[in-house]
Structure 1
Amino acid sequence: MIFYSLRVSTWLGERNGSINLYSLTSFFFVLFFLMATQDIAVDGWALTMLSEKNKGLASICNILGQNIGYCASQLSFLTLNNKKICFYLLKKYAKIMHLIFYKSEYYKMLNTNLDLIYPTFQPFVDMNVFLKFWGIFILLLTILTFFKKETSNNKEKENKKITEQEKEQNNKSQNISNVPKKEENEFRNAKETYKNLYELLFLPPMKIFIILFLINRLPFASVEVATNFKMLKKGITKEEFAIFNPFFIPISIISPAIIGKIIQNTNPLNVYYYGYILRYISNIVLSTLLPLTGYMYSNKTHISQIFFYIYYLYIFGAQIFNNMCIDLMTVSSMGFQNVISDPQIGGTYMTFLNTINNMGSHVIYKKIKERN
């Protein structure tokens, strides 16, 4: 990411060049491959690290990490890469600094001449800076993780490990010539893992699980994907949508933790059922935004500003309600997956179940986006 950050900006055409689709595809294929590999390792780590009664907490950690990552990267990048939003923030900064340092000629000149620099003004962050920053962040985190040694506080696991090691030593001393090589063991373990996954596909409960999670987002997709697109066509601007982004950040971080605390000692599938019903209700609320937006912007000159503030508050409330329902379903479904996953192939097991879930939503949402 650090090495190719400048090249990606060029490939995207940000530096007045042509878009290089082949290079972009190759770069992001490698990047996503590495991230997927890391995801498998982290899922497996969570299953082996947590005790049996706390396995459900892995889903809270997962969704919490995803939301923090989404807010810290995507929302911040979309905001700081938008020219209008960045210029608006600069104007506010210049105005505040001029009020504080009213005797300063620099801030006085900056405040009065800002509009002149708008044509040549560039956003605060481009793809080059974005990739370089997160590349350095990931590199430092990897270095810290490399020096972190795991310690087990579970005496039962330690005793079991010692017993297994003693048995292994006895077997080696008895028949050292029959011990297979390390490479053969690794190959056999990988082969056994794929064999287990193949057998998993044909289990009757798993067939129901796969069908359910392939189609579970079908009732919500049209409303959740199309609403924002349709609202833009009705008159609301991207800048108005961006107003809500700073408020989504703390809520999206706090809500999974609250949901996880509430459902910690409950059946994950029961929670998923109630989350499904609540998500239906949230979609009904979201669907009212289209006629309301059409009315507000078709009569914009005749409607008082106070009603627009109420309208923005209603949009914010509807989006928050929908996001909390999504988090409720995600936390409960991932909690169920953690409980049923085999720790021996935990990472692969979890990734397989998540792939089924993501595959269904990706296909459905993509088709609806293409139609809009």
Structure 2
Amino acid sequence: FWAPLVDAMYVEAFGRRKSWLVPVQLLCGFLMIWGQYQIDAWLGESTADGQQTEPDIKVLTMYFFVLFFLMATQDIAVDGWALTMLSRENRGLASTVNSVGQTLGYFTAYVGFLALNDADTCNRFFRAVPQEEGIVSLGGFMAFWGYVFVFTTLYVVLFKREDDRSEDEPVESITGTYRGLLKVLQLPSVQQLCIVLLTCKAAFAAADAATSLKIVEYGMPKEELAFFTTFLGSAGIFLPALLGKLIAGHAPLNSWRWAYPLRLMVGLLYAILVPLSSATYATSSEHPVMEYLKIPTLTVSKATFAA
């Protein structure tokens, strides 16, 4: 909704995209650095002085709403900059790079954080002398990426220059941009695409959301389950890069139409194999080998058809 504002309002001397990208990323970084001192209290965990508090749902909601709003604004500016930064023949690869980056970020924040935050995992793989706490706390993790945001933004300010706007990309006024947006939304093909994108995941959303929860309920530790998403992360990083040229062609949705029925079949595999997991864990106190083979297979299949 606010994308036309990001596109039309800027300081020309500073740069059309940098006018939004720089302040938004700096604000995100400072919010994460500041949040490291508050997050334990907000979550109701023990603070530095040993006091236990109740989770503050309202503050958590407001904090992450602001953070995600800023991230969405940054995403708008980055997507717009990619259109002018990349050559015409490579603009179709912008979505591929975006997909790879999001998957890598999800993998780092999920698998990486759980591995370094869990004491048992750290003692098993990273330490010679066991300790009661993980290597990284949630506050420390937030602070690290906050500093990454700040220093990356400073690098963009000092060393990255925006190319001059080409004549075939005129800047509309705010009202003109919104009028253009309304005209685009009135196109039948765009309306059909919106309906597809808003409903396409409904067929397998329940299977995706419930599978990991049920497997944890049946006995697999969540930290070890997170390790299996390594396969999903690897596939999600490399497959979009390999399929990028195909997706960036004249009919990019053809590959999606081909993969969608196969993606539905992965949901059926979840429905079949999760009950088997219940029986397997019920009869074994050790972590079954078949589960260690089953979950990577499913995650790679899911990533393949989602890419």
Q: Same fold (TM over 0.5)?
A: yes
Equivalent residue in structure 2 for 1:253, among 230, 234, 237: 237
Between structures 1 and 2, the one with greater helix share: 1
Count of residue correspondences: 270
Q: Aligned runs of 1:1-372 on 2, under 5 Å? A: 1-14=32-45, 15=47, 16-89=52-125, 93-94=127-128, 110=129, 114=130, 121-150=132-161, 160=167, 189-265=173-249, 267-300=251-284, 308-327=288-307
Once the two structures are TM-superposed, the CA of residue 146 in structure 1 deviates from its matched residue by 0.6
Q: Is the 8 A contact 1:5 1:131 kept in 2?
A: yes
Rate the CA distance shift 1:7–1:35 in 2: closer, same or farther, 3 A.
Answer: same
Structure 1, unpaired ranges of 5+: 95-109, 165-185, 328-372
Give the SS at the match of 1:6: coil
Higher relative contact order (CA 8 A, sep 6+): 1
Q: Is the 8 A contact 2:232 2:303 kept in 1?
A: no
Q: State the alpha-carbon separation in 2 of the partners of residues 23 and 252 from structure 1.
A: 33
- The structure with the largest alpha-carbon Rg is 1
Q: State the alpha-carbon separation in 1 of the partners of residues 256 and 274 from structure 2.
A: 28
Larger deviation, residues 37-46 vs 291-300: 291-300
Once the two structures are TM-superposed, the CA of residue 216 in structure 1 deviates from its matched residue by 1.0
Q: State the alpha-carbon separation in 2 of the partners of residues 266 and 206 from structure 1.
A: 16
Query: What fraction of aligned residue pairs are identical, expressed as a percent?
Result: 35
Once the two structures are TM-superposed, the CA of residue 151 in structure 1 deviates from its matched residue by 6.7
Q: State the alpha-carbon separation in 2 of the partners of residues 46 and 287 from structure 1.
A: 40
Structure 2, unpaired ranges of 5+: 1-31
Q: State the alpha-carbon separation in 2 of the partners of residues 137 and 276 from structure 1.
A: 37
Once the two structures are TM-superposed, the CA of residue 57 in structure 1 deviates from its matched residue by 0.5
Larger deviation, residues 289-298 vs 317-326: 289-298
Once the two structures are TM-superposed, the CA of residue 152 in structure 1 deviates from its matched residue by 5.3
Q: State the alpha-carbon separation in 2 of the partners of residues 240 and 151 from structure 1.
A: 44
Give the SS at the match of 1:48: helix
RMSD of aligned alpha carbons? 2.7
Q: Is the 8 A contact 1:235 1:293 kept in 2?
A: no
Q: Is the 8 A contact 2:82 2:94 kept in 1?
A: yes
Q: State the alpha-carbon separation in 1 of the partners of residues 224 and 83 from structure 2.
A: 42
Q: State the alpha-carbon separation in 2 of the partners of residues 281 and 19 from structure 1.
A: 40
Q: TM-score, normalised by structure 2?
A: 0.78
Q: Is the 8 A contact 2:235 2:303 kept in 1?
A: no
CA deviation profile, 1:130-159 (whole Å, cap 9, x unmatched): 111001000000000011343759xxx86x
Rate the CA distance shift 1:46–1:199 in 2: closer, same or farther, 3 A.
Answer: same
Give the SS at the match of 1:124: coil
Q: State the alpha-carbon separation in 1 of the partners of residues 223 and 36 from structure 2.
A: 27
Q: State the alpha-carbon separation in 2 of the partners of residues 209 and 319 from structure 1.
A: 27
Q: TM-score, normalised by structure 1?
A: 0.65
